Amino acid sequence: MFILGLNAYHGDSSACLVRDGELIAAAEEERFRRIKHWAGLPVEAIRYCLREGRIELGNVDHVAINRRPGVNNFRRLAFVLTHRPDPRLVFNRLRNIRKAATVEAALGQAFPDQNLRAELHHVEHHLAHLASAFLVSPFEEAVSVSIDGFGDFASAAWGMGRRQSVCVDDRVYFPHSLGIFYSAVTQYLGFPYFGDEYKVMGLAPYGEPKFIDAMRQVVHLQSDGTFRLNLKFFRHHTDNVTYSWNNCSPEVGTLYTAALEELLGPARKKDQPLEQKHKDIARSAQAMYEEAFFALLNALHQRYRCDNLALSGGCAMNSVANGKVYQCSPFKRMYLPAAAGDAGGAIGAAFVVWNELNHSTGANGRFHMSHAYTGPQFSEEEIAAVLKSRALFPGKNRDPLDLTSESAASLLVSRCADASELCEHTAKAISEGKVVGWFQGRMEWGPRALGNRSILCDPRRGDMKEILNAKIKRRESFRPFAPSILREAVVDWFETDDDVPFMMEVFQVRPEKRAQIPAVTHVDGSGRLHTVSRDANPLYHQLITEFQRLTGVPILLNTSFNENEPVVCRPEEALDCFLRTKTDVLVLGRHVVIRHQA
């Protein structure tokens, strides 16, 4: 049985393919379109999943989409009658709902030569989120929580997951949303683009929560652990806030009102300097989010009396709060999916359908998603062909005057005989301060580079952040870089011994270790942890082990292989990124391209 899961007509459009209860492929559309957070029908991601499954669309038995048009209609109607929003807002929302409802016709148009016979299933947005965590977790039962902006007229939902099913027991409905709160503050601070919330999270440690009392006027905690917004500070529920979700990079109009500027002062423009006040507001917003987040988690633990937590939704990308779950709530074990946001709804929707059908057939067992390597991979022959197309051959030099502005540069190409030689050469280059583009195996699912499409550096160098930003990333100086660490070494370097395979939690670096790894230690002593196990990624584990043999440090600085674009997918994109930046070494499979200065 083949099930195609979709997140369509929303940011981070994506597709996955489930065969007989096993996830065999999953990818976001942005990786193929090369447009960040691309929204629309994920046609190219679907094509990839079908290729990986060696089937055509006509062989798919079921299509599951993480939207359910018509759900919560009575609440929608009541809201319209009581709030009287701008008619254009209502029209735009209805148009987007109709898009999701007509996905069957859109698939027919995108694949005109294939006969779609699959049954179409619409899965409620937050049920898909809950399923994207619990139904692929290792837990037999867990409190399942989804928190995000909005989907199907709700912003949060929760219930219990048990064995092969997960249910929604309650919700927080539109217009109240922690995601909208955080996004509004993000815009206020001068970060206007879809997905910029992580910048506020990175900026927050530079400030103090001096505006927490003001934030408590914006978000009101309720006695049952839920939250409500003070709507006078927001526009999303009454005005015609622009939302662009179809065949484009998503765009969201201004979410806050003039009342927020009266409360906090004038909003920062995108190009204005960051002042200490802005850092304090970022810290206060993060503190407010954590107050609401942990109030909800504590109430849910008291209600369900279960120590396992399966967390999902766009707000579950707040890795700082995630790293405090064991400290600030009674939960003892947590599963966070690799794509907690809307992309993950494709997997959630597919597994909701699979488990419903699985119950009916009496089958047992459940898939556990222990790694995120579900995207395209490329053979050594394919990589060699890409290099050959650029006249790059092992053992030969090329003066790349037509490829790069560095006229004094030359490229040296070699091919390693085996994994040991590859890891020895690469670890040595990293230990010498080189910036290495590392392209291996299957592309990662989700927003994080997890050692297959990564840029790797020496975490021991205090100047490595500046070097990276100068050579490649060109991003804000306050944003930290993450450590990849051998799983067996975690407890010696961090104040935790948790598995964090998807880089979704921030923990404190042990104080006595911080001076050894300044490039991956944030200003508050924390690091966004990525644990690397031998089972999940043997080659990356071998590389870090070799770096440890050379330096005594079982950690690499790991950032995504890209330059203000989606993470690279194909070897052509990796090579292009290498050539237009000042990356020192490119490792494509077993091929190594080194940039030398004359």
pLDDT reported for residue 403 = 36
Q: pLDDT, tens digit, for every residue of 315-344?
A: 999 999 999 999 999 999 999 999 999 999
Provide CATH 3.90.870.20 ranges for the chain.
380-597
Q: pLDDT, tens digit, for every residue of 547-570?
A: 999 999 999 999 999 998 999 999
Q: pLDDT, tens digit, for every residue of 158-187?
A: 999 999 999 999 999 999 999 999 999 999
pLDDT of 270 above 80: yes
d(CA 59, CA 73): 34
CATH 3.40.190.10 fits 2-133+339-361, yes or no: no
Q: pLDDT, tens digit, for every residue of 127-142?
A: 999 999 999 999 999 9
pLDDT reported for residue 483 = 98
Percentage of the residues of the chain whose pLDDT score is greater than 90:
83
pLDDT of 11 above 70: yes
pLDDT reported for residue 409 = 55
DSSP conformational letter for 231? G
pLDDT of 398 above 50: no
Percent of the chain that is helix, strand, coil (3-state, to 5): 40, 20, 40
Average pLDDT over residues 63-74: 80
pLDDT reported for residue 583 = 95
Q: How confident is the model at residue 124 (pLDDT cuts 50, 70, 90)?
A: very high
pLDDT reported for residue 407 = 38
pLDDT of 408 above 50: no
Q: pLDDT, tens digit, for every residue of 241-254?
A: 877 777 888 889 99
CATH 3.90.870.20 fits 380-597, yes or no: yes
pLDDT of 597 above 80: no
This prediction has a pTM of 0.93
Single-letter code of the amino acid located at 221: L
Q: pLDDT, tens digit, for every residue of 482-521?
A: 999 999 999 999 999 999 999 999 999 999 999 999 999 9
pLDDT of 76 above 60: no
Single-letter code of the amino acid located at 577: C
- CA atoms within a 13 Å half-sphere pointing along the CA-CB vector of 15: 29
| Strand 62-65 with 119-122, pairing | parallel
pLDDT reported for residue 133 = 98
Single-letter code of the amino acid located at 284: S
Residue closest to 183 by CA, chosen among 218, 210, 221, 214 = 218
pLDDT reported for residue 399 = 42
Length of the chain: 598
Single-letter code of the amino acid located at 42: P
pLDDT of 233 above 80: yes
CATH 3.30.420.40 fits 173-306, yes or no: yes
pLDDT of 411 above 50: yes
Task: Report which secondary-structure segment, H or E, holds 473.
Answer: none
pLDDT of 238 above 80: yes
Percentage of the residues of the chain whose pLDDT score is greater than 70:
91
pLDDT reported for residue 85 = 67
pLDDT reported for residue 400 = 38
Which is higher by pLDDT, 89 or 583? 583
Mean pLDDT of all residues belonging to the chain = 92
Highest mean pLDDT among 90-104, 217-231, 402-416: 217-231
pLDDT reported for residue 5 = 98
Single-letter code of the amino acid located at 4: L
pLDDT of 477 above 90: no
pLDDT reported for residue 244 = 79
pLDDT of 33 above 70: yes
Q: At what angle do helices 43-53 and 103-110 cross, to 10 degrees?
A: 70
Residue closest to 281 by CA, chosen among 146, 400, 169, 186 = 186
Q: What is the dihedral of CA 132, 128, 91, 39, to 10 degrees?
A: 30
pLDDT reported for residue 241 = 83
- Tokens 């500027």 identify what position? 261
d(CA 208, CA 280): 5
Q: How confident is the model at residue 2 (pLDDT cuts 50, 70, 90)?
A: very high
Which is higher by pLDDT, 92 or 399? 92
pLDDT reported for residue 93 = 57
Of the given ranges (103-112, 319-328, 341-350), which has the lowest mean pLDDT?
103-112
| Strand 505-508 with 526-532, pairing | antiparallel
Provide CATH 3.30.420.40 ranges for the chain.
2-133+339-361, 173-306
